[in-house]
Amino acid sequence: MDLLHLQTFRVAAADLNGQMRGKRLPASAAAKLSEGTVRMPYSVLNVDIWGADIEGSPLVFESGDADGILLPTERGALPMPWLANRSALVPMWMFHPDGRPFEGDPRHALNTVLERYAERGWNVHAGIEMEFYLVDDTGEMPLPPINPLSGRPLHGEAILSLRQLDAFDGFFTELYEACALMDIPAQSAISEAGLGQFEIDLSHTGAMRAADDAWLFKALVRGLARKHGMAASFMAKPFAAQAGSGMHVHFSVLDGEGRNVFDDGGPRGTDTLRHAVAGCLRGLESATLIFAPHGPSYARFEPGSHAPVSAVWAYDNRTAALRIPSSPPKARRIEHRVAGGDINPYLVLATILGQALIGIEEGTPPPAPIEGNAYDADDAPLPGLCDTWTSAVEAFSTSDLMRRVLPPELIANLTLTKQQEIARLADVPPEAHWKIYLETA
């Protein structure tokens, strides 16, 4: 997209909560974007969900709130179809003035993990399923959206309902057109289990590109929903009585010849696949904070609520945390079903792929795959995830395993961020939490 034909454009990088942080610049600045002239304090990528500085953060107090340098990602300039006035967004990531990556930038965390795969001559492909709700947020409590055809609020579950999809045809038609403009590979759309809940699949591509797609897609959906008189939310559980929203990650690994290292020619998959599964299962507890980063995220983890609660795996079984979908052998892959929709996609993919690689490197065998409903286990409780936000922060901050996946600076920054959010959220009545997270999660 040619920035010189615009009056202004935006630059933005992802903070630790996955929010876009950046600036609006005049078109004359476009020619110098790659020269390191766009600067922003390091601390901006380490603010809390309200956008406040983190008390005691070394990024502020020890560095004097120094500036990092923003450089464009390989994505380039993209249109912003949700805005009334023509503009563009240039995705960025942060570096030190000497050219080193800033380790507090979540996109760099994913890039570091992918470089470890590349050292083996491997390339990771990922596809993402994004669930979200359309919401009427004009009152004191969030409500299902108004049906554009009837003028009445939605009522009754409508899983895989074409009627409900068609009711919002104007929104989805514009969404697909906007995805094409932004080169976001939106595939099938379905009506999900919750009132006003939908899912759109983003097709398999390189893992970094997949994370970029998910980050941009969330901004696009929120912006277009407002254009259509609604809100869109990726909160893990915006309605207590409705299904939660997840972000399911499918991934496979290709060798230098383009062969899938998970493919053994049959339905079982290779030892490499099972070692990757073992690594992911081993890391679920310590990584719970990445998959459920906010206080309200934990309402999604309820037995029978379409969200996994146990650290188990299975073949073609959607009640398990990790599923090996039924597919042609060449498409053999792992589906990681734990993350909510309210996540930072860069941190989620970095964590999943980093833990999978540790399992592969160590040759760890997984436990036996389960059969039947994972929610119906009658014996001893199955190993699971942290069940509270506080315990998840503690497990994450003290985990030796997570230090093998994410840089120590990012772990320290995210821990401080979440500790501040826990303290601040304690002063907010629970019935008002949705106002904080509806469009920020």
Do 353 and 303 share a domain, yes or no?
yes
Across 395-418, b (16+ Cβ under 10 Å) vs e yields bbbebebbeebbbebbbbbbbbbb
Cα–chain-centroid distance for residue 70? 22
Whether 84 and 120 map to the same domain: the answer is no
| pLDDT at 439 (0 to 100) | 94
46 with 180, same domain? no
Chain segment 205-223, per-residue pLDDT in tens: 999 999 999 999 999 999 9
DSSP β-bridge partners for residue 71: 93
User: Do 90 and 171 belong to one domain?
Assistant: no
Print the domain residue range for 18: 3-102
Domain termination residue (choose one: 102, 123, 145): 102
CATH number, domain of 75, equals 3.10.20.70
Judgement on whether residues 197 and 58 belong to the same structural domain of the protein? no
DSSP 7-57: SEEEEEEE-TTS-EEEEEEEGGGGGGGGGT--EEEGGGGG--TTSPPPTT-
Residue of 348, 340, 392, 382 lying closest to 16 (CA atoms): 348
Number of residues written out for the chain: 441
With contact defined as beta carbons under 8 Å apart, do 284 and 385 qualify? yes
Q: What is the total count of domains within the chain?
A: 2
**Sequential DSSP letters for 162-200:** HHHHHHTHHHHHHHHHHHHHHT--EEEEEE-SSTTEEEE
Report the distance separating Cα 107 and Cα 98, nearest Å: 18
Residues 122 and 95 in one domain: no
- The residue type of 118 is A
Same domain, 262 and 118: yes
Buried b / exposed e along 150-160 (16+ C-beta atoms within 10 A) = eeeebeeebee
In a domain, 428, yes or no: yes
d(CA 84, CA 102): 34
Rg (CA), the chain: 21
**Does residue 108 lie in a domain region?**
no
Q: Residue 381's pLDDT is what?
A: 45
- In the structure, how many helices (H) and strands (E) does the chain have? 12, 14
For 38, the token pair is: 């766009």
Nearest to 131 by CA among 206, 283, 239: 239
Residues (pLDDT < 70) of the chain are: 1, 4, 61-62, 156-161, 193, 304-306, 377-383
CATH of the domain at 242: 3.30.590.10
Residue 52 covered by a domain: yes
DSSP lists the bridge partners of residue 168 as none
